[in-house]
Structure 1
Amino acid sequence: MAANAEFVSYIKEQLAPLGFLSSGSFFGGQAINYHGHQFAWVIGSTLYLRVNDITRPDFEAAGAQPFKYNTKKGKITVRKFYTAPEFLLDDPEQLLSWSRRAIEATSES
């Protein structure tokens, strides 16, 4: 599923205070990078943020799910990217805070 262009624009606008961001196509969606490190990803109208072992429990506690996709051999779960908890989309300060943590999580790759 392609990224919803209007949603991508909205997310980029909300994340602009982070500073230097770039984006590009990634796995059928739109990757969002901070200084060349992918910390966010939009597929359709869903925002995914990068997690690590420290932040994953917070995402899970907020009801976020890891990215999953189907192959001929079965379902694949990508535990490096989780859906952004819904409340973040209505709270720009929290979205920035969780996005900063997602940026920090990219240092482990």
Structure 2
Amino acid sequence: MAVDAGLVAWVTEAMEPVGAVTHRAMMGGATLYLDGVVFAIVDDDALWFKADKLSDARWDAAGTARFTYSMGEGRTGTMNYRRAPDEIYDDADELRRWAALALEAGARGPAKRRRKE
């Protein structure tokens, strides 16, 4: 994974009307949060939105691929993120529409555990 800084900047700018986007490095890519809720990852030059069992049907209907990665020894793993539809890359309204679905999935996810000090 690698981070496309321009893509992160585009998402941050497009999502400003909704909230503040922050990001954290993750295995060479980045995890994106909106007001503390995970909603996407960036891998190379692609945006992948958070999905879950409740939203999978909508992602399937849109024909979006599930995020996969190589685990070595010919094995692949998946994470429940879906590739963003192409139209989000030049249409902020579309980006926000799909991000809303991802934010719902992120909000339904397990609560973040706090580190013991």
Q: TM-score range by the shorter chain?
A: 0.7 to 0.9
TM-score (norm 2): 0.82
Distance in 2 (alpha carbons) for counterparts of 1:63 and 1:6? 25
- The list of structure 1 runs, each at least 4 consecutive aligned residues, that deviate by more than 3 angstroms after superposition, is none
Coordinate RMSD, CA, aligned = 1.5
Distance in 2 (alpha carbons) for counterparts of 1:18 and 1:6? 19
Counterpart in the other structure of 1:77: 78
TM-score (norm 1): 0.88
Asked which structure has the greater CA Rg, the reply is 2
Report how many residues are paired.
108
Q: Which has the higher helix share?
A: 1
Counterpart in the other structure of 2:58: 58
Counterpart in the other structure of 2:9: 9
For the 8 Å contact 1:38–1:106, the answer to whether it is kept is: yes
Amino acid at match of 1:77: T
Unaligned 5+ segments in structure 1 are none
Distance in 1 (alpha carbons) for counterparts of 2:90 and 2:60? 19
Unaligned 5+ segments in structure 2 are 110-117
Amino acid at match of 2:57: P
Instruction: Give aligned-pair identity as a percent.
Output: 27
